[in-house]
Structure 1
Amino acid sequence: MRTAAACAVLCAAAFPAPPAAAPAPLDPLDPPAVEVTVTDDVDHAEAGQQLDYRITVHNLGADEVPGARVEQELPATTVSATATDGTIEDEATGGRKAVWHTDLPAYGIAVFSAGAVLGARQSPDTSAAPGTRRAATTVCVYTARSAAPLACSGDLDDLPESRPEAEHGNGVGWAMGALACALFAPGVVRAVRRGRTRRSG
């Protein structure tokens, strides 16, 4: 009996335990409930300023969301960006986005951070990219292979109004012209009247 028991123990040790069962795939018809928020704690921004974003993703469901993808579309005027524990990708349209990959545990919360340094927005008389009058960002959460987001959120910061230099120059020129007319017009009128008086005399 002892020999048989010892053999059983040795045989059990020789064979590895069966692998843990993989998590069940997510049902596309019943997507997990996820909530996302993003903020930079400011309401107004300007060129040269760095905006520090805090992104919070909350899995509201009782099931894990493996391989979740978090994408942040950065403001249109972003000239440089960082994403802690993530990557910055350049898009074909000229924009930039921050990307993270993570597993969201049941009822778990994940926090991400990114920074974006703003450049000058395009002037109003050009075809400005969307969001150039505001520093706009959007964050969406996706499952591993899903093109449709589970949840999205955004943040807007007002940018100061600005006008192109040419417009300022034209404005100054018109102002100088108006001033000159105001100063010299009375003298011109008097000279014309004197000329008419002399002719009539």
Structure 2
Amino acid sequence: MRTTAVRALRTAAVCALPCTAALAAPSAAALAPQAPPAVSVTVEVTDGADDTEAGRRLDYRITVHNLGAEAVHGARIEQRMPATTTSATASRGLVQGHGMGRQTVTWRSDLPAHDVQVFTASAVLGDRPGSAPSAAPGTLRAAATACVYVDGNYAPAACSGDVDDLPESRADAGGGHWGWWAAAAAVAALLGPGVVRAVRRARGVRRA
């Protein structure tokens, strides 16, 4: 009888080990750190124009779309205005920076899953001095960019840009006139001595 009881206890202990492991496995999985859901957002910025000029106001529309199945909390939407912006305004946004090339607008917002949100801002452009910084070096363009930042990251999750052509500045146009006069003066300096000699020869022939 004692031997039978011992065998029964051993059998129960052997069966209990897999059961205990099976019960402990879900608990360990629950305690393991879970990877955050992937964030998938897009942003588009446009002012509805292809060209602009100094003194004109540009009205920007920034559209942010959360493509993911999870909400994004505390997203930061930031727009950098064109380099020649003299003043900027934004609905529900914070305008920062003063002077040309330093105007930015920031919004803070939650982005529900599969939701689309629209933000608006305006910029008034000034003349483009030759020393002004440009978002598009070597070109005459008014460039604006909009980016979305999530989870406090410094790298944007998405960015978009809008570019408008600018006319030649007045300074450049004036420089063109001065260039023409300079070229004319150079031609006169080269041809002047020859013209004088030709006139003197003609007078000498007439006197003879």
| The two structures share one fold, judged by TM-score above 0.5 | yes
Counterpart of 2:23 in structure 1 is: none
Q: Which has the higher helix share?
A: 2
Give yes or no for the alignment of 1:36 onto 2:75.
Answer: no
Out of 106, 130, 135, the position equivalent to 1:130 is: 135
TM-score, normalised by the number of residues in structure 1: 0.72
- SS state at 1:160 partner: coil
Q: Does 1:148 align with 2:146?
A: no
- Work out whether 1:108 is the aligned partner of 2:115: yes
Please tell me whether residue 191 in structure 1 is matched to residue 199 in structure 2: yes
Change (3 A) 1:65 1:92: farther
Could you tell me how far 1:144 is from its partner in structure 2? 3.8
Structure 2 gaps of 5+ residues are: 1-33
User: What does 1:18-167 align with in structure 2 at a 5 Å threshold?
Assistant: 27=36, 31-90=38-97, 94-123=101-130, 126=131, 128-131=133-136, 133-162=140-169, 163-164=171-172, 167=175
CA contact (8 A) 1:69 1:101 kept: yes
Gaps of at least 5 residues in structure 1 are 1-24
Identify the match of residue 181 of structure 2 among 173, 185, 201.
173
Report the counterpart of residue 20 of structure 1 in structure 2: none
> Post-superposition shift, 1:174?
3.3
What letter corresponds to residue 33 of structure 1 in structure 2?
A: S
For 1:62 and 1:91, the matched residues in 2 are separated by: 39
What is the TM-score when the length of structure 2 is the normalising length?
A: 0.69
* 1:173/1:26 CA distance change after superposition, 3 Å: farther
Residue 192 of structure 1 deviates from its aligned partner by: 1.3
Q: Please tell me whether the aligned partners of residues 49 and 117 of structure 1 are also in contact (alpha carbons under 8 angstroms).
A: yes
* Higher Cα Rg, which structure: 2
Across the aligned residues of Structure 1 and Structure 2, the Cα RMSD in angstroms comes to: 3.4
- 2:199 corresponds to which letter in structure 1? A
Give how far 1:161 is off. Answer: 1.8
Q: Secondary structure, in 3 states, of the residue corresponding to 1:154?
A: strand
* Aligned residue pairs, count: 172
